[in-house]
A and B are shown apart, each in its own frame.
Chain A
């Protein structure tokens, strides 16, 4: 009896664990399957066409891809220096009695759902952008800024963790040689934790590019490429969030599925690079 139960337990846990792989494979196949109509209709032109006209049944992903890339890029330029500053502050600079409360509140803020960042952005940030740059305030720039604020706590927390892996003995040796804090940071901590820091930043990038709710509120979902950052724009997740429930026609749906497929492939690639190239899991 107990041999039977033993086998049953072992096999059922294994079965459930393998189900995860099955689900991921299933997600990819379903998305590919549902994208087929759009892939047949537009081929590679889907990626390079800048017209998204549901009424004409013409779909091109370029404006959404452009918006995803530009808004994420903006978010990264704004967030990286701030996050590294916060990480340096938390790992090297803050006095012990500040370290824990500030560190924990950063982590808690990383747990606040992105829909709340989006809502805050809509009511408090859009008017600021409108007053400062004119236009409606709903724009690529607003989306980039909100995205950077949303990603900041996560990026700061993981970067701090990466910096904290530097062994104390290395830092102490550098201080003993008369190094200032900055000398220690730039010559000991950053070289030591380089892979971890880069990995953390790329991981944050992977999250930012798939982020939906923080930007849906403030981007406008306009499928038009504009070099003016204060104009409304769209991105892949924004287009999906706005149009999925309203789509009519198979080709329209299929194009939206192809957008999801593109997004999934991009994020899978970015996150894999971060996780496997820079943040290889260490386990005894």
Chain B
């Protein structure tokens, strides 16, 4: 066997192994997706959106309490996290730029983006739940805000950085003060990118379970008072799935399906925004 032959054979072996691992990887992932759709669609019905939690054994239990709780908790986190994150990102890109302070904030945010979310839950438990004396929707929202902040901050920073400096200079030349340049020129130029960052940030915190376990806790009934413990889709899913009752497990699958579809659509819409921008 010549050297060339050997190289070609080795090449074929490695390429087959690589294709095989891609196939195995994709196989597992489609297995999960398949299971999710199969069980989710099977468990879906109108009662899920109309009814609250029921004791095991009742056929007509629903997820209304968890859906609305989730909306409240993630909604408040978004209302707090998005403006704060965008403004902080604005500082990094437009004022701080390459200063030591800005670089430190970037580094710390990068780390926080991958830091274990359950630790954020423990922190919020210590500073919000313990002083209040009870679990609350607010505590859950605060935990999610802390998780969301670095994500929005870093994407805003990156997206504003992509706006060409000639645009800023043109606006400055017209005599506009800096804050006007940023709000009327830079934000407009980076609109699609910031929106994508916001959507991905919401998608990320909507799937968080660990930081909610001991902040917003759970509730089997509809509650719209953020001062009390509140159901969320993720924690409800966890409790139902680990329960021994078949009808609860079924509701768990329905929750898993609704949540995944929500998160996947946010991701797809976010990507489309970016694509559309690139296409222009």
Contact = CB atoms under 8 A, between A and B. Distances in A.
Given A86-B25, A115-B209, A264 B116 contact: yes
Interface in B83-121: 84, 87-88, 90-92, 94-96, 101-102, 104-112, 114-121
A89 B29 contact: no
B20 interface: yes
Given A2-B180, A6-B177, A82-B21, A212 B11 contact: no
B151 to A, nearest CB: 12
A268 interface: yes
A83 B18 CA distance: 9
A113 B209 contact: yes
Nearest to B94: A13
Contacts of A133: none
Given A115-B209, A153-B29, A182 B203 contact: no
Contacts, number: 265
Contacts of B8: 180
A106 B29 contact: yes
A14 B96 contact: yes
B271 A30 contact: no
B226 interface: no
A212 B177 contact: no
Nearest to A23: B146
A239 B252 CA distance: 22
Interface stretch (B49-57, B61-69, B71-79, B256-264): B256-264
Contacts of B44: none
Given A16-B91, A104-B271, A267-B114, A257 B122 contact: yes
Given A85-B17, A237-B210, A263-B116, A13 B91 contact: yes
A124 B35 contact: yes
B108 A113 contact: no
Interface string A12-38: 111011111101101100110110000
Interface string B108-147: 1111101111111111011100000000000000000010
A89 B92 contact: no
A245 interface: yes
B153 interface: yes
Interface in B23-42: 24-26, 28-29, 31-33, 35-36
A81 interface: yes
Nearest to A90: B22
A109 B243 CA distance: 26
A88 B105 contact: no
Contact of A116 (B32, B115, B127): B32
Interface of A: 2-3, 5-6, 8-10, 12-14, 16-21, 23-24, 26-27, 30-31, 33-34, 81-86, 88-90, 93-94, 102, 104-109, 111-120, 122-124, 149, 152-153, 156, 180-183, 185, 203, 206-207, 209-213, 216-217, 237, 240-241, 244-245, 256-257, 260, 263-264, 267-268, 271-272, 275-276, 281, 283
Name the 6 nearest CB pairs between A and B, nearest first.
A210-B116, A113-B207, A85-B21, A13-B91, A180-B11, A9-B179
26 contacts: A2-B180, A13-B94, A17-B96, A18-B105, A21-B104, A24-B108, A24-B112, A85-B18, A90-B22, A106-B26, A109-B32, A109-B33, A111-B207, A111-B267, A113-B208, A113-B259, A115-B256, A117-B32, A123-B35, A182-B14, A210-B114, A237-B116, A244-B125, A244-B214, A260-B118, A271-B115
Interface of B: 7-8, 10-11, 14-15, 17-22, 24-26, 28-29, 31-33, 35-36, 84, 87-88, 90-92, 94-96, 101-102, 104-112, 114-123, 125-127, 146, 149-150, 153, 161, 177-180, 182, 200, 203-204, 206-210, 213-214, 217, 234, 237-238, 241-242, 249, 252-253, 256, 259-260, 263-264, 267-268, 271
Given A84-B21, A85-B25, 10 more contacts: A14-B91, A21-B108, A85-B22, A89-B18, A113-B263, A116-B32, A119-B238, A149-B28, A217-B238, A267-B119
